[in-house]
Amino acid sequence: MLMTFFKGVEINIWSSNKINLLHPHLNQNGHVASHHTEFRNKLLGIPCAIVSCCFYSLWYITQAKMNAEYPSPHSSAALMSIMGAIQANIFTLCVERDWSQWKLGFNIRLLTVAYSGMVASGVVVVIIAWCIKKRGPLFVSVFNPLQLLLVDIAAYLMLEEKLYLGSVLGAVIIVCGLYTVLWGTAQELKKEVSVSAIRKHQRRV
């Protein structure tokens, strides 16, 4: 949450003009948001980020329980994608009435829709369901903060977003926390293996 709540000073690693896939005709100073818009986005973004984390964790727990009753990640991912598409279309129809915004050309918007549908909703959901079935929801949720790190890197390199000190500190905390949890999980697995080996030896004796 440090990457969301704390910004800090701006860090400019790449001094030259960066690639902007959304607005390729704009340079580095071509798109500047006003302070009022930025403050309003923060007020809306912070509670949305908290709610997103809560619902994402709830989805992991629900997926773990569903795997016990319905151990088929491919069909469950297809059902979730269909229901999500229906809900997204209904919500978009209520919010966006300009039909020109629904058109997709050969640009970044088409690439975004294709990537979200095939990779994010198709491949990633199946892999997450399979990992939850094998290792449980806690192990899978550990890797969730890496998304924020990858998004910050991609936005800085390809969408002309600014990089701040809070993002760098948050990235360091994410990597350290991930390593700590994986190290603790490895130690627990070693203990479980040793305990099971001792029990097998005692049964044989």
| Rounded Cα gap, residues 53 and 64, in angstroms | 17
Please provide residue 24's backbone torsions phi and psi, each rounded to the nearest 5 degrees.
Answer: -70, -20
Tokens found for residue 40: 């309003």
- Mean pLDDT of all residues belonging to the chain: 76
Query: pLDDT (tens digit, 9 = 90+) per residue, 113-129?
Result: 888 888 887 788 888 88
Residue 184 φ/ψ, nearest 5 degrees: -65, -40
Average the pLDDT over 98-107 and give the result. Answer: 79
From 146, 133, 144, 141, select the one nearest 63 (Cα to Cα).
133
Report whether pLDDT(30) > 50.
no
Q: Above pLDDT 70, what percent of the chain?
A: 81
Residue-range domain boundaries for the chain: 32-136, 145-205
The set of long-range contacts for 130-133, using a CB threshold of 8 Å and a minimum separation of 24, is: 130/73, 132/60, 132/63, 132/64, 132/67, 133/64, 133/67, 133/71, 133/73
Pick the more confident residue, 85 or 11: 85
For the chain, how many residues are written?
205
